[in-house]
């Protein structure tokens, strides 16, 4: 390495000691334990795309090098073997100022500029999927019956928590039923979309306006604008953006769009053929075909820097953004239900594929969930939870 090279540790790094169990034949035949445990050191850095295994020498070196000041390589090489420093540079856990380190340095600087809380950054980065399907994961596959789960795991926790005896409970007033009550009764996740019925352009716009539009914009100070939307938001910052995959909407080409919340308008990003849009939907929702059938899908993309600008390195900032995604998806359910449409939301998504499709940098903009809506099928093909019978009759025909 040249004498002029400067290096420092990446901005966020968590080291996980991970146990590895191996069969110990000598111990087995000697009457001792058959399994031998060893420790692997796994480096988790959100600016990288994968976990990185490191050895004891690399671990020790990382503990001696800070993440803020730049250090001359030659100076660090007095206490650490140059080969160890070279390996850490190649792995991206150390960042150099040379041209060959530019890509890693840029991603690390993006993490720094966003003011992530380290544990939140690591949790987000390493829970993202790529090219996954829910049917491939035996823990969540939709084809497992409840009886199978009970036989394997035992009974689930009770469906309701009871803290006092029944005679100590205080009965509450039950108000008269209203239109809102009726709306809540009809609200149910749709797994049966009409694959032939396009979504009307006006209805499509009505849902987007109610759920995602800004109803007012106020400049609090030069360059600082607060929006009024239909959902609460931490610090009134509204960091969630709607990125759309349109499959079947009147007057719109199938493709990728971004919703402009202030102008109530779509920004076309890429046109897709029908087969491409179908394949894209399957990737987005991790091969949940009953959701992929919806005519429109909306990725709830968090602009982390919008919230972290105010709540820098804050332990609750990431949680507030996730909470907001829940508010937005519920508003989508209600808006769609009122118009007689079905809706869904899922967190089982391929975040990395969505980021690639919309050219997003995951350190600053990343999807938390995907939701969608459209016309329900006339006949139920896939099981839906509708215990009130408000959506389907006993024969599975739409009411």
Residue 247 belongs to some domain of the structure: yes
Average pLDDT over residues 214-224: 92
Predicted local distance difference test score (pLDDT) of residue 26: 65
| Same domain flag for 106 and 197 | no
Say yes or no: 214 and 296 in one domain.
yes
pLDDT higher than 60, residue 23: yes
Domain housing 279: 146-152+179-374
108 and 190 assigned to the same domain: no
Asked if 265 and 357 sit in the same domain, the reply is yes
Q: What is the pLDDT of residue 22?
A: 75
Q: What is the mean pLDDT of residues 294-298?
A: 98
Q: What is the pLDDT of residue 49?
A: 84
Which among 296, 298, 297, 303 has a CA at the least distance from the CA of 227? 303
Q: Are residues 330 and 252 in the same domain?
A: yes
Position 265 in a domain: yes
> Does residue 383 belong to any structural domain of this protein?
no
- Predicted model pTM: 0.91
Q: 114, 129, 161 — which closes off a domain? A: 114
How high is the pLDDT of residue 31?
A: 64
SS (H, E, C) the chain: CCCCCEEEECCCCEEEEEEEEEECHHHHHCCCCCEEEEEEEEEECCCCCCCEEECHHHHHHHHHCCCCCCEEHHHHCCCCCHHHHHHHHHHCCEEECCHHHHHHHHHHHHHHHHCCCHHHHHHHHCCCCCCCCHHHCCCCCCCCCHHHHHHHHCCCCCCCCCCCCHHHCCCCCCCCCCHHHHHHHHCCECCCECCCCCECHHHHHHHHHHHHCCCEEEEEECCEEEEECCCCCHHHCCCEEEEEEECCECCCCCEEEEEECCCCEEEEEEECCHHHHHHHHHHHCCCCHHHHCCCEEEEEEEEHHHHHCCCCCCCCHHHHHHHHHHHHHHHHHHHHHHCCCEEEEECCCCHHHHHHHHCCCCCCEEEEEEEEEECECCECCCCCCCCCCCCECCCCEEC
Pairing of strands 14-23, 224-228: unpaired
Last residue of a domain, one of 114, 137, 165: 114
Query: Measured at the alpha carbon of residue 218, what is the angle toward residues 212 and 221, in degrees to the nearest 5?
Result: 130
pLDDT at 206: 98
For the cut 70, the answer to whether the pLDDT of residue 112 exceeds it is: yes
* 236 belongs to a structural domain: yes
How many folded domains does the chain comprise? Answer: 2
Q: Is 126 inside a domain boundary?
A: no
Give the domain CATH number at 290.
Answer: 3.40.109.10
Specify whether 358 is located in the same domain as 242.
yes
Q: Quote the pLDDT of residue 141.
A: 58
pLDDT at 359 over 60: yes
Alpha-carbon distance of 397 to 200, in angstroms, equals 23
35: phi then psi, degrees, rounded to nearest 5: -110, 140
Note whether residue 392 is domain-resident. Answer: no
Tell me if 91 is assigned to some domain: yes
pLDDT, residue 105, reads 97
Classify residue 208: in a domain, yes or no: yes
Same domain, 89 and 188: no
- Same domain flag for 108 and 251: no
Can you tell me the distance from the alpha carbon of 48 to that of 91, in angstroms, rounded to the nearest whole number?
A: 9
Specify whether 293 is located in the same domain as 184.
yes
């Amino acid at each position: 390495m040249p004498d002029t090279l400067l290096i420092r540790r990446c901005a966020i790094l968590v080291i996980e000691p991970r146990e590895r169990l191996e069969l110990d034949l000598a111990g087995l035949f000697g009457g001792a334990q058959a399994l031998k445990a060893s420790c692997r050191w796994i480096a988790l850095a959100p600016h990288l795309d994968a976990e990185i295994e490191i050895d004891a020498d690399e671990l020790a070196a990382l503990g001696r090098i800070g993440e803020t000041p730049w250090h001359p390589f030659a100076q660090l090489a007095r206490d650490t073997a140059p080969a160890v420093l070279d390996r850490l540079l190649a792995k991206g856990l150390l960042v150099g100022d040379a041209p060959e380190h530019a890509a890693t340095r840029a991603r690390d600087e993006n993490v720094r500029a966003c003011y992530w809380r380290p544990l939140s950054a690591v949790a987000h980065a390493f829970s993202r999927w790529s090219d996954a399907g829910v049917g491939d994961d035996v823990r969540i596959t939709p084809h497992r019956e409840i009886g199978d789960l009970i036989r394997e795991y035992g009974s689930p926790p009770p469906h309701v928590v009871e803290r006092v005896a029944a005679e100590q409970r205080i009965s509450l007033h039950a108000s008269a039923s209203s239109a809102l009550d009726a709306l809540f009764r009809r609200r149910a996740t749709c797994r049966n979309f009409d694959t032939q019925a396009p979504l009307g352009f006006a209805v499509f716009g009505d849902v987007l306006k109610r759920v995602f539009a800004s109803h007012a914009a106020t400049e609090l100070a030069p360059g600082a604008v607060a929006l009024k939307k239909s959902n609460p938001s931490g610090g009134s910052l509204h960091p969630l953006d709607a990125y759309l995959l349109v499959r079947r909407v009147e007057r719109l080409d199938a493709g990728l769009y971004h919703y402009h919340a202030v102008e109530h308008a779509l920004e076309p990003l890429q046109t897709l053929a029908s087969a491409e849009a179908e394949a894209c939907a399957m990737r987005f929702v991790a091969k949940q075909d009953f959701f992929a059938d919806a005519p429109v899908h909306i990725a709830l993309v968090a602009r982390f820097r919008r919230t972290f600008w105010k709540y820098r390195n804050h332990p609750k900032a990431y949680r507030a953004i996730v909470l907001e995604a829940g508010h937005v998806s519920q508003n989508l359910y209600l808006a769609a239900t009122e118009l007689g449409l079905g809706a869904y939301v899922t967190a089982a998504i391929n975040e990395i594929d969505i980021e690639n499709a919309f050219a997003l940098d995951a350190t600053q903009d990343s999807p938390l969930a995907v939701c969608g809506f459209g016309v329900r099928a006339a006949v139920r093909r896939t099981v839906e939870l509708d215990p009130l019978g408000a959506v389907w009759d006993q024969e599975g025909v739409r009411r």
